[in-house]
A and B are shown apart, each in its own frame.
Chain A
Amino acid sequence: MLEIKNLHVSVEGVEILKGIDLSVKTGEVHAIMGPNGSGKSTLTRVLAGHPSYVVMQGTAIYEGKDLFQMAIEERARQGIFLAFQYPIDIPGVNNAYFLKTAVNEMRKAKGLEELDAMEFLEFLKEKMKIVEMDESFLNRPVNEGFSGGEKKRNEILQLAALGPRLAILDETDSGLDIDALKTISEGVNRLRSPNRSFILVTHYQRMLNYITPDHVHVLMGGKIVMSGGKDLAFKLEEKGYEWVRPD
Chain B
Amino acid sequence: MGKSIEQYQKAFERLRVTRKNDPPWLLRLREDAMTSFVKKGFPTTKEDAWRYTDVTAIREASFDPLGTIPELSQETVEALKQKRGRNFLLVVNGKFSREHSSVEEDIDVTDLGEAVISRSDLVEPHLGRCVTPANDAFSALSAGLFKQGLLICIPENLIVKEPIHMMFFAHAPKGGGLFQVRNLIMAGKKSKVAIVETYAAGNIKTYFTNAVTEIILEEDAKMEHCKIQQEHPGAFHIATTQVVQHRRSSFVSFALSTGARLMRNDCRVALAAEDTFCELNGLYLGDKDQVLDQQTFVDHQKPDGKSDQFFKGLLAGNSKGVFHGQVMVRQDAQRTDAHQANKNLLLSDTAKIDTQPQLEILADNVKCSHGAAIGQLQEEALFYLRSRGIDEEDAGRMLAQGFAREVIERSSLGFMKEILLELVNKKLSQQLYSEKE
State the A residues within 8 Å of B (CB): 48-51, 71-73, 75-77, 81-82, 84, 87-88, 90-93, 98, 101-102, 105-106, 109, 141, 158, 162
* Interface status of B374 (Cβ within 8 A of chain A): no
Q: Chain A: which residue is nearest B394 at the CB level?
A: A101
- Give Cα A48–Cα B388 distance, bound, in whole angstroms: 10
Interface string of B396-423 (1 = CB under 8 A from A): 0011011111100000000000000000
Interface residue? B386 (CB, 8 A) = yes
Which of these, B380, B391, B399, contacts A73 with CB under 8 Å?
B391
> Is B390's CB under 8 angstroms from A101's CB?
yes
Q: A76-B386, A76-B388, A98-B385 are in contact. List 7 more A-B contacts (CB 8 A).
A: A49-B386, A71-B392, A76-B387, A76-B389, A81-B387, A90-B402, A93-B401
Interface residues on B, range: 20 to 34
Instruction: Give 12 pairs: A residue, B residue, CB < 8 Å, sorted on A.
Output: A50-B383, A51-B383, A72-B383, A72-B386, A73-B389, A84-B384, A90-B384, A90-B402, A92-B403, A92-B405, A98-B385, A105-B391
Nearest CB of chain A from residue B238's CB, rounded to whole Å? 31
Give the residue name and chain of the B residue nearest to A90 (CB): B381
Which chain A residues border B387 with CB–CB below 8 Å? Answer: 48-49, 72-73, 75-76, 81-82
Q: What residues of B have a CB within 8 angstroms of the CB of A48 in the complex?
A: 383, 387
Q: What is the interface of chain B, defined by CB distance below 8 A to chain A? A: 378-381, 383-392, 394, 398-399, 401-406
Check B383 against A98 for contact (C-beta < 8 Å): no
Taking CB as reference atom, which chain A residue is nearest B395?
A73
Given known A72-B383, A106-B389, A158-B388, contact A92–B406 (CB-CB < 8 A): yes
B-side contacts of A101, CB under 8 Å: 390, 394, 398
- Please name the residue on chain B nearest to A106 by beta carbon: B389
A51 neighbours in B (Cβ, 8 Å): 379, 383
A93 near B386: Cβ-Cβ < 8 Å = no
Asked, given contacts A51-B379, A84-B384, A88-B381, whether A93 binds B389 with beta carbons under 8 Å apart, the answer is no
* Shortest CB distance B315–A (Å): 17
Contact B384 A88 (CB under 8 A): yes
CB B310 to nearest CB in A, in angstroms, measures 13
Smallest CB separation, A196 vs chain B (Å): 17
Q: Which residues of A contact B384 (CB under 8 A)?
A: 84, 87-88, 90
Cα A105 to Cα B391 with chains together (Å): 9
Known contacts: A72-B383, A84-B384. The answer to whether A77 contacts B401 by CB under 8 A is: no
Distance from A120 Cβ to chain B, minimum over Cβ atoms (Å): 15
Give chain A residues whose Cβ lies under 8 Å from the Cβ of B378: 88
A77 to B390, CA, bound (A): 9
The reply to whether B402 and A102 contact each other, CB–CB distance below 8 Å, is: no
- Kindly list the 5 A-B residue pairs having the minimum CB-CB distance in the complex, ordered from nearest: A92-B402, A76-B389, A102-B388, A105-B389, A72-B386
Complex CA gap A49/B387 in Å reads: 8
B389 and A162 within 8 A (CB): yes
Beta-carbon nearest neighbor of B392 in chain A = A73
In chain B, what residue has the closest Cβ to A78? B389
Expressed in whole angstroms, the minimum distance between the Cβ of B357 and any Cβ of chain A is 21
Tell me if A102 and B398 are in contact (CB < 8 A): no
Contact A93 B388 (CB under 8 A): no
In the complex the two chains form, what is the Cα distance from A75 to B383 in whole Å? 12
User: Complex: how many Å from CA A72 to CA B405?
Assistant: 26
Question: B342 to nearest A CB, angstroms?
Answer: 16
| Contact among B386, B391, B398, B403 for A98, CB-based, below 8 A | B398
